[in-house]
Every structure is written in C-alpha cells, then in structure tokens.
Amino acid sequence: DAGVTQSPTHLIKTRGQQVTLRCSPISGHKSVSWYQQVLGQGPQFIFQYYEKEERGRGNFPDRFSARQFPNYSSELNVNALLLGDSALYLCASSLGNEQYFGPGTRLTVT
Amino acid sequence: GIQVEQSPPDLILQEGANSTLRCNFSDSVNNLQWFHQNPWGQLINLFYIPSGTKQNGRLSATTVATERYSLLYISSSQTTDSGVYFCAATNTGFQKLVFGTGTRLLVSP
C-alpha cells in the first residue's frame, strides 16, 4: 500500500511570494495534519483536518492556511513568505490515533 | 499544553552496543509515538505506545503512563540505526502531536 505522499519534494521561493504544498493521505485515512520542522528542532503542529473540517490549529500566523478535499487530500498555503518559513513541511495522515508521516517538502525562502 | 522532553540529546555508540532513550511528558496522554528520522527527513514509525510494552525485533519500548515517561531500547545497535529519534505525545481531542527535541544517535562501525 502506498504511504503518505507529498509534492513537491523541494521548492525554492523568494520572500513575499506564496506557496502551495500538497499531501495525499494513506488510502482510507480521513484525517490529515501538517507540521513544520525547522533545522535542528522537532516538528511543530500547524493544522489538523478531518472530513474537510479544521479540527485544530497550532501557533502559526494567519499567513498559513490549509484545506482538505473530498478525496481527503490536502493543501497547505503560505502567503507573504518570510526567510523564517524555510523548513521541512511534513504531512501526516491517520485513521485512529496513530499518525503516519510523508517524506516532506523542503521549502527554501531566499 | 503538554511538554515533552527527551534525553540524552546526543548518543555515540559502537556497533553492537545497547542503548536506552528516555522521554518524559508533563501530563497524561492519549497518544505517544516514537519515530526515527532518517537523513532525508522521513519520519519512520517505530511504536505507537500510550501505555504498556511493545517489541519489534531489536527495538522495544515501554511507557509508564502513571509516572509520565517512556523508554526506547535499542539492542545490538547497527550503523543503520543512526539518525534522530523523536518521541511525540498528545492529550488533546484532536491529534496535535507535541514532539520532543530528539536524541541524535550515531553508531560507528
């Protein structure tokens, strides 16, 4: 069975631009969560979506937004990019409590 | 919110040695997971263990929920065990995992 997939793998953007990251959950999983991992730290929770509804939001500015589609895939959008947004963005899917992570999208903001 | 602390921050072992990684958490949990992050950033699930003991090959884990800690045991370590080990926990109704700062393991041949 395919695991969680994310696209793109790598991305380079300029300050002030907008970016969209994509995630496809494991088949049958209805919940998707997004995390940001800055170099040298553990991942930080951004959002969780379940059945297209936002169920939780971490301590991130409104420049970060997300949505979930009827097929349970999800997009994370970040507007007005800052240098500090450079990080590995991880998507996780779950059926129950246990979360399974994708390979991540590495975003570099220059 | 819940806080998660891991120790030691760094660990260097010779191949074949055993090790114990510790995770302390500040409140009761309904989810606790151990992950291994490989050099490419992929988080690999090791254990889902909010309580009790589990074993998978050379790895085992124990969570003592009443005392708010979890231990990950690695026996007969191999160079492929190198990487960062994360403990993550949550006690919310939605699945907001709070990660520790990780233990960086280096196994030398």
What is the per-residue pLDDT across B54-70, written as a single tens digit (0 to 9) for each? Answer: 999 999 999 999 999 99
Q: What pLDDT does B14 receive? A: 97
* CB contact (8 A) between residue A33 and residue B95: yes
| Shortest alpha-carbon distance between residue B78 and chain A (Å) | 23
Would you state the structure tokens that stand for residue A46, as one six-digit string? 């951004």
Distance between CA atoms of A104 and B3, rounded to whole angstroms? 24
Residue A96 has pLDDT above 90, yes or no: no
Q: What pLDDT does A72 receive? A: 96
Question: B72 forms bridges with which residues in the sheet?
Answer: B21, B61
Q: What pLDDT does A94 receive? A: 93
* CB contact (8 A) between residue B42 and residue A101: yes
Q: What pLDDT does B39 receive? A: 86
Spatial CA neighbour of A30 closest among B46, B95, B48: B95
pLDDT tens digits along A51-95: 999 999 999 999 999 999 999 999 999 999 999 999 999 999 998
**Residue from B97, B101, B103 whose CB has the most chain A CBs within 10 Å, to mutate:** B97
Q: What pLDDT does A1 receive? A: 64
Could you say which DSSP state residue A43 is in?
-
Q: The tokens 């003991």 sit on which residue?
A: B53
The share of chain B scoring above pLDDT 70, in percent, equals: 100
Q: At B79, which helix (H) or strand (E)?
A: none
- HSE value, Cβ hemisphere, 13 Å, CA-based, for B22: 7
Q: Does B14 touch chain A (CB under 8 A)?
A: no
Q: What pLDDT does A13 receive? A: 98
**Residue from A10, A101, A106 whose CB has the most chain B CBs within 10 Å, to mutate:** A101
Residue B93 has pLDDT above 90, yes or no: no
pLDDT tens digits along B38-54: 988 999 999 999 999 99
pLDDT tens digits along A25-56: 999 999 999 999 999 999 999 999 999 999 99
Residue A5 has pLDDT above 90, yes or no: yes
Range scoring the smallest mean pLDDT among A84-98, B6-20, B33-47, B88-102: B88-102
E-state strands within A1-110: 5-7, 10-13, 19-24, 31-37, 44-50, 53-57, 64-68, 74-78, 87-94, 99-101, 105-109
3-state secondary structure of A110: coil
* CB contact (8 A) between residue A48 and residue B94: yes
A106 CB burial (10 A radius; 0-12, 13-18, 19+): middle
B79 CB burial (10 A radius; 0-12, 13-18, 19+): exposed
A26 alpha carbon, distance to own chain's centre: 15
List the single residue in A43, A48, A103 with the smallest CB-CB distance to B95. Answer: A48
Spatial CA neighbour of B15 closest among B80, B104, B83: B80
